Structure 1
Amino acid sequence: MNPIKTALVGFGNVGEKTHAPLIQACPYLELCAVVERSQQKSKVKYPHVEVYRSLEALLEADAADLIVVVTPNDLHFEQAKLCLEKGKHVLVDKPVTISSEEAIILKRISEENERVLSVFQNRRLDGDFKTVQKLIDEEKLGKLVHFESHFDRFRPQISENWREKDNLGNGITYDLGTHLIDQAVCLFGMPKWVKAEIKVQRENAIADDFFDIILGYDTPYVRLTASVLSNAPMPKFLLQGYKGSYIKYGLDVQEKALKAGIAPEGDDWGVEDPSGWGKIYFADNTKSIQTERGDYRDFYLNLAKAIMGEEKLMVKIDEAINVLKIIESAFESSKNGQKIDL
C-alpha cells in the first residue's frame, strides 16, 4: 500500500530534531505537510512538504491521514480533538493532555470515529530501559526490592522555553515525570498510592524544576526523581535485589544523536559504547552488562502498522490516562503533604 500521508503540527526543537527524522525513517509514512505559524524552516530539510499556517488550514486541505501534534502541552487537547473529529489518526507528544479527564474525552472520540490515538512515549525504547526490562524478566538480581529512576540535568539558568513559562502543563513533572512514570507502570503496573514532593528550587523560576515521587507497590520500593540542579554524576537507574545491585549512568544515546542532526539510519543506530554500560555488583564479583540496543524508529513503525491493522498499538491511550492520574495525584500529594490512594 502507499505510505500513510503524515503531517507534523509544530516544528520547534522536538518536531524538527526528533519527530521529523523518525517519520522520514519509517517506510510506511510520508511526511507531506507541516504546520508552522510564521516560518518555513521545515522546507530547508524537507523541500517537498506543504507548509500550512494553521491546523485548521491543514485539515481543510485534507492533506494527511495521520496528524502528529508537537505543540505546547496546553494546546494538545483542543488540537487532538479537532483532528479526531475530522477523522484523522492522531499521535500526540507526551503528555497527551494536561488532565486525565481530557484524555478520556479524546479516547471516546477516537473510538467513535474508529481512529488510532497514541502518545509519543519513546523512552520505552531507550536502550537502558530495555536492559532494565530484561534484567527484571530474567530475574538477574533475584527478588527485586528497590527500583530507582533518575532524569537529572544541570540547567541553573531559566530559559525562554514555554515549559518554564506560566503555562498550564509546564514544568519538569509533566515533561520528564511523564516518561519515568510511564516506564515504571510498564514494569510494575498501576501503584496503590502516590507520595510526592514537587518543588520550584531555582530563584525566580515559575515552573516546577524538581520532583521526588514514590509509587506504592508491595514490592519493590519505587522512587522516581528529577532535578535541573544536579551537576554531579547520578545514576540513571539503580536496582537492588537479593542477588545484587545494578547501576547505570548516562542517558540513552539516541537523543544526543538526534539533537546533533544524525539521521536515524543503519544497524548501529541506538547502540551504546561499552564505556557507558551499566554494572551488576554481585556478592563475589562485578559484571558489566551490555546495554540493549534502543530504537525510536520502532515506535513509528508500530504506529504505522497499527493504523494498517497489522499490529497492536504499542502505546495505548488507556496507559496515558493512567500516567496522568498518577501525575495529578503527585501534585495533590505534594500540595497536601499526604499519601494519595489510587
Structure 2
Amino acid sequence: MSIGVGLIGYGMAGQVFHAPLIRATAALDLKAIVTSRSAEVAALDPAIACVEQVEDLLADPAIDLIVIATPSATHAALAADALRSGKHVVVDKPFALSLAEARDLAALAQSVDRRLAVFHNRRFDSDFLSIKTAIETGAVGRVTHFESHFDRFRPEVRDRWREDGSAGSGVWFDLGPHLVDQALALFGSPDAVSADITALRAGSGADDWAHVILRYADKRIVLHASLNAPGGEQGGAPRFTVHGTEGTLIKRQLDPQEAQLIAGLRPGDMGWGVDDDPIEHRDGDGRMTRHPAETGCQERFYAGVAEALLTGGPQPVPTQDAVAVQQVIEAAWLSAREARVVTLPLD
C-alpha cells in the first residue's frame, strides 16, 4: 500500500529536503506539488502533477498526506485547512508563529483524528546522533553544560523573506527550532529560558543573531545561531560542546546531508550521510580520543511518518514535542524583548 502525498511549496525547503526524502521512501508516492515552477517539477518527474491552487490539492481523494514547505507565516493556516480537509499533515519548521497557534493545531488534529508532525529532520543528523549516543553511554558522566551552535557565514543581507523582517522571518524562527528540538530531545523541557536575539548585520530587517540559555536545575544548555559566523568546519565555534562530570565532548562540523542533497546525492547513494568529522572526547585527566561519527539518516523522518500512518504507531516527532519546542521559541522571544528570565510553562 502506498500513501499519496501532496507537497505545498517548491522553494528551497521543498526542492532540497522534502521532495527528495519523500521520494526516497518506498511507502510514499509524491503525486502533486503546488507551485508555479512547473518546468522544475517536470524535470523532477513528469508524472508529478503541478497544481496551481492549494484547494485543488486538498480536494484530491488520491492525496492522503499534505506536506507544507511554504514561508513560515503560512504554516498554521495551511495546516489547519489540510486537517479540516481530512488529510494527515507534515509541516516544515517552525510549527507556527505562536504557542497559541501550535496548541490550536494540536487540538484540531486530535479532534479530526488526523496525524500532524513537524519536520524536525535534524534529529537524524550525524552530529546530533553521535553526541546523543556518547551522552547516553555515559562518556562524560552527568552533563552540566551543553552548547549547540548552528552558524552560517552570510555577512550580506539577501533579498528573501527569511531576512526581510516579515512575520516568521529571522534566524531564531529559521534555525532556532532545530536547536531547541535537539536540546529537548536530550534533556526535556527546561525550567526557564533567557535570551538575547537581535540583528547585527548592517541593513538586516530581521534577527540574525540569537543566544539562548535553557535553565535546568543541574545544567545549562546554550543555543546559539548566527548568520555572520563561519561554522566549525571553517575554524569557528564547534557544532557541539558538552561538558560533564567526567569529561568533555566536541563535535566540530555540521552534518553533511544538506550539502549532499544540494549536490544531488540521495539516500542510498554511496557516501550518503557519511560524516568524516569525528567526535573528540577528553576524559577527566585530559586524555583525548577520537571516535567516528555516526552516519546521518534524515530519510528516517519520512520512513517514520509512513510507518505511523500505515500501522497507527508513534510518529517520528510527536505533536506534543513540536508544541514543547514552540513554547521555548516563544519564551526566548519574550525573554529577549523584555530582558528577563522567563519561567516555564507559559500560560
Q: What TM-score, normalized by structure 1, do the two folds share?
A: 0.96
Residue pair 1:16, 1:42 contacting (<8 A) in 2 also = no
Q: Equivalences for 1:5-20 in 2 at 5 Å? A: 5-20=4-19
Query: 2:273 corresponds to which residue?
Result: 270
Partners of 1:143 and 1:326 lie apart in 2 by: 23
Report the Cα distance in structure 2 between the residues aligned to 1:3 and 1:62, rounded to whole angstroms: 14
SS state at 1:235 partner: coil
User: Separation in 2 of the partners of 1:145 and 1:53?
Assistant: 51
Q: Deviations over 1:243-283 (max 9, x none)?
A: 2111111110111100111122247421212xx11201221
Q: Which residue of 1 aligns with 2:229?
A: 230
Whether 1:247 aligns to 2:250 is: yes
Contact 2:31-2:47 within 8 A present in 1 as well: yes
Aligned position for 1:258: 261
- What letter matches 2:190 in structure 1? P
In structure 1, what is the equivalent of residue 315 of structure 2?
Answer: 313
Please report how far the alpha carbon of residue 226 of structure 1 lies from its aligned counterpart in structure 2 after TM superposition: 1.0
Alpha-carbon offset, residue 154 of structure 1 = 0.8
1:163-312 equivalent positions in 2, closer than 5 A: 163-231=162-230, 232-266=235-269, 268-273=271-276, 276-282=277-283, 283-312=285-314
> Is residue 38–residue 53 contact of structure 1 (8 Å, CA) maintained in 2?
no
Q: Look up the match of 1:145.
A: 144
Q: Partners in 1 of 2:141 and 2:64 — Cα distance?
A: 47
Paired-residue identity, %? 37
Could you give the per-residue CA deviations for residues 94-118 of structure 1, whole angstroms, max 9, x where no partner exists? Answer: 1111111111111122112211100
Shift of residue 234, structure 1, vs aligned partner: 1.2
- 1:33–1:63 contact (8 Å) kept in structure 2: no
Q: Which runs of 4+ in 1 moved over 6 A?
A: none
Which residue is equivalent to 2:63? 64
Shift of 1:131: 1.1
**The 10-residue stretch of structure 1 (217-226 or 178-187) with the greater mean CA deviation from structure 2:** 217-226
Could you tell me how far 1:284 is from its partner in structure 2? 4.7
Matched, 1:323 2:306: no
Contact conserved, 1:9 with 1:68, CA < 8 A, in 2? yes
Counterpart amino acid of 1:279?
E
Shift of residue 38 of structure 1?
Answer: 5.6
The 8 Å contact of residues 127 and 253 in structure 2, kept in 1 or not, is answered as no
Q: Measure the CA separation in 2 of the matches of 1:243 and 1:112.
A: 47
Alpha-carbon separation, structure 2, partners of 1:29 and 1:60 = 19
Separation in 2, partners of 1:205, 1:68: 30
Determine if contact 2:208/2:226 at 8 Å carries over to the other structure. Answer: yes
Per the alignment, in what secondary structure is the counterpart of residue 179 of structure 2? helix
Q: Distance in 2 between matches of 1:223 and 1:295?
A: 25
CA distance in 1, matches of 2:183, 2:214: 9
Task: State the Cα deviation string for residues 289-331 of structure 1 (Å, max 9, x = none).
Answer: 2111110111000000101125311111111111111111111
Q: Which amino acid aligns with 1:328?
A: E
Instruction: Report the Cα distance in structure 2 between the residues aligned to 1:327 and 1:109, rounded to whole angstroms.
Output: 21
Tell me the secondary structure at the aligned position of residue 294 of structure 2: coil
For the residues of structure 1 that align with 2:236 and 2:165, how far apart are their CA atoms? 30
Q: Which runs of 5+ in 1 are unaligned?
A: none
Give per-residue Cα distances to partners, 1:186-212, cap 9 Å, x unaligned: 111110000000010011111100000
Q: Residue 84 of structure 1 corresponds to which residue in structure 2?
A: 83
- In 2, Cα distance between the equivalents of 1:133 and 1:288? 16
Which whole-Å CA distance do the structure 2 matches of 1:38 and 1:132 have between them?
39
1:53-83 Cα deviation digits (max 9, x unpaired): 0111212333411010000011111111111
Equivalents in 2 of 1:17, 1:143: separation in Å?
37
Higher alpha-carbon deviation: 34-43 or 295-304: 34-43
- 1:48 to 2:84 alignment: no
Q: Which moved more, 1:30-39 or 1:80-89?
A: 30-39
What corresponds to 1:132 in structure 2? 131
How far apart, in 1, do the equivalents of 2:35 and 2:146 lie? Answer: 41
Kindly provide the amino acid, as one letter, of the partner of residue 335 in structure 2.
S
SS at match of 2:311: coil
Q: CA deviation at 1:40?
A: 3.8
| Deviation for aligned residue 1:161 | 2.0
